[in-house]
Amino acid sequence: MTSELLLQQLANGISLGSLYALLAIGYTMVYGILRLINFAHGDIFMMAAYFMVFSIVTFRLPWYIAIVVVIIVTIALGVLLEKTAYKPLRNAPRMSIMISAIGASFLLENLATYLFTGVPRGFPDIRILTTTVELGSLSLTVATLITPFVTLILLYVVLFITNKTKIGMAMRAVSKDFETAKLMGININQVISTTFVIGSALAAVGAILWGSRYPSVMPLMGVMPGLKCFIAAVLGGIGNATGAVLGGFILGMAEIMLITFLPSLTGYRDAMAFVILIVVLLVKPTGLLGEKVTDKV
């Protein structure tokens, strides 16, 4: 094991981890408010990648405008999802809402297969992000390099919103106690919509960075990242944005390290995320940074 190799793998791990983190924040926020695993979150992420392809390849927008457009359209899709698939079921049993989430995810995947076919689309090459930088013996693209910073900045923004703004306060209140918050006159619908806005926006940013690193856009690209990011959110302590980021980093790093140190076990890469999930649920269900809430587990 040379130090070069280790250094490169560390960079790989941090970069992958920060992508997981971006998606994990979306999961953790929705779960915090609605107590719902938004199974469709990974598919929102997938759709965002397609939006990027279309806005640059089909509509020939410059990349900086395309990014704004994609974030807006993705937010619209996220809010639409909430209004159609989750809102009508607000008073339904938990199981119905979850089935609806699974159904929405399934629908988005099938719709994408139908509309865009299973043939992968190339993610547009944004020069600024895909240029390779040599740092000593390390070889990294700009996207790889900036992803952790983008993630940390966005985490800061999310924390600012939840801690320092009025709507953020309302979100925390709803997260603590849905019924009481409602009685106190908090506009639940607005809070929930805001949550989906933030989550979807982060998914869009995640999709753009993901696409620059892994430029193959296809209908099922969101399935595994989606599940893993939910696991990252659980690992960090569900409902806690900082925890989600931490969980994302740990999960990304763990995957890369498994391959680095135990290359014969690469086949078990995806299984490891689930093993981590189950261990966390059994040993410390509140996750690393989660608060103890009796009703969760």
Partner 1 sequence: MKRIISLLLSLLMVLALFTACTPANNNGDANGEPDEVVEPGEEDADVIKIGVFEPLTGMNGGGGLQELGGIEYANKMYPEVLGKKIELVVVDNKSDKGEATTAVTRLIEKDKVVAIIGSYGSAVSIAAGDIIRDAQVPTVAPSATNPMVTQGNDFYFRACFLDPFQGEVMATYAIEQGAKTAAVIMQNGDDYSVGLANFFINAFKKLTGEEASIVDVSEFQLNEADFNAILTNIKAKNPDVIFAPSAATTAPLIIKQARDLGIESLIMGGDTWENPAVIDVAGEDAEGIVLSTFFDENDPATNEAVAFVEGYKAELAGKEPIIPAVAALGYDAYILVRDAIERAGSTDGVAIRDALKETKDFEGVTGIINFTEEGDADKNVAVIKSVQDGQFVFIDSVEVK
Partner 2 sequence: MMDKLNDKKSKLFLNLLLIAVFAAILILLDTKTIGDAYVRRILNLSAIYAIVSVSMNLVNGFTGLFSLGQAGFMAIGAYTVAIFTVPLEARAKIFYIIPQNPVLAQIELPFVIALILGGLLAALVAVLIGMPVLRLKSDYLAIATLGFSEIIRIVFTNIKSITNGALGIKNIPIMPTMWVFFGVAIISIGLMWLLINSSYGRAFKAIREDEVAAEAMGINLFKHKVMSFSIGAFFAGIGGGLLATLFATVDPNQFYFPVTYNFLLIIVLGGMGSISGTIIASFVVTIGLEILRFFDEPLALFGVNIPLFRPGLRMVVFSILLMVLVLFFRNGLLGQKELSWKLVFDWLSGKKPIKKTDEGGAA
Instruction: Summarize as ranges the residues that interact with partner 1 (CB under 8 A).
Output: 2, 4-5, 8-9, 12-13, 15-16, 113, 117-123, 125, 130, 132, 134, 139-141, 144, 210, 213-216, 218, 220-221, 223-225, 255-256, 259-260, 263, 266-267, 269-270
Residue 274 binds which of partner 1, partner 2, none (CB < 5-8 A, kind-dependent) = partner 2
Which of 24, 56, 85, 174 touches partner 2 by CB under 8 A?
85
* By the rule CB under 8 A, 89 interacts with partner 2: yes
Instruction: For residue 98, state whether it binds partner 2 (rule: CB under 8 A).
Output: yes
Stretch that binds partner 2, among 98-106, 123-131, 132-140, 254-262 (CB under 8 A): 98-106
The strand pair at 132-135 and 138-141 is best described as antiparallel
Single out the residue of 4, 113, 160, 190 in contact with partner 2 (rule: CB under 8 A). Answer: 113
Q: With binding defined as CB under 8 A, does residue 111 bind partner 2?
A: yes
Is 50 an interacting residue with respect to partner 2 (CB under 8 A)? no
CB 84 within 8 A of CB 181: no
**CB 118 → partner 2: shortest distance, Å?**
8
SS3 letters for 180-215?
HHHHCCCCHHHHHHHHHHHHHHHHHHHHHHHHHHCC
Residue 106 makes contact with partner 2 by CB under 8 A: yes
Say which DSSP state 1 is in.
-
Verify binding: residue 262, partner 2, rule CB under 8 A: no
Question: Is 228 in contact with 251 (CB distance < 8 Å)?
Answer: yes
Distances (CA, A) of 41 to 10, 19, 126, 144, 247: 27, 14, 24, 23, 17
The verdict on 270 binding partner 2 (CB under 8 A) reads yes
Task: Tell which phi-psi region holds residue 122, choosing left (phi > 0), alpha (psi between -120 and 50) or beta.
Answer: beta
Judged by CB under 8 A, the stretch of 65-73, 134-142, 205-213, 280-288 that binds partner 2 is: 280-288
Q: Which of 141, 94, 112, 139 is closest to 219 using CA atoms? A: 112
Number of other CB atoms surrounding residue 186 within 10 Å:
18
Distant-in-sequence, close-in-space partners of 281: CB < 8 Å, separation ≥ 6: 234, 297
Query: Could you give the CA distance from residue 13 to residue 143 in angstroms, rounded to a whole number?
Result: 14
Q: Does 23 bind partner 2 (CB under 8 A)?
A: no
Dihedral, 118, 108, 52, 199 alpha carbons, nearest 10: -140
Of the residues 281, 288, 291, 293, which one makes contact with partner 2 according to CB under 8 A: 281
Note whether 296 binds partner 2 by CB under 8 A: yes
Size of the site for partner 2 (CB under 8 A): 44
Q: Which helix (H) or strand (E) holds 132?
A: strand 132-135
Q: Which residue has the tokens 């093993």?
A: 275
Which of partner 1, partner 2, none does residue 293 bind to, with CB < 5 to 8 Å depending on kind? Answer: none
Selected range binding partner 2 among 1-9, 12-20, 133-141, 264-272, rule: CB under 8 A: 264-272
User: Residues in the site for partner 2, rule: CB under 8 A?
Assistant: 35-37, 84-85, 88-89, 92, 94-96, 98-100, 102-104, 106-107, 109-111, 113-115, 117, 223, 227, 230-231, 234, 267-268, 270-271, 274-275, 277-278, 281-282, 285, 296-297
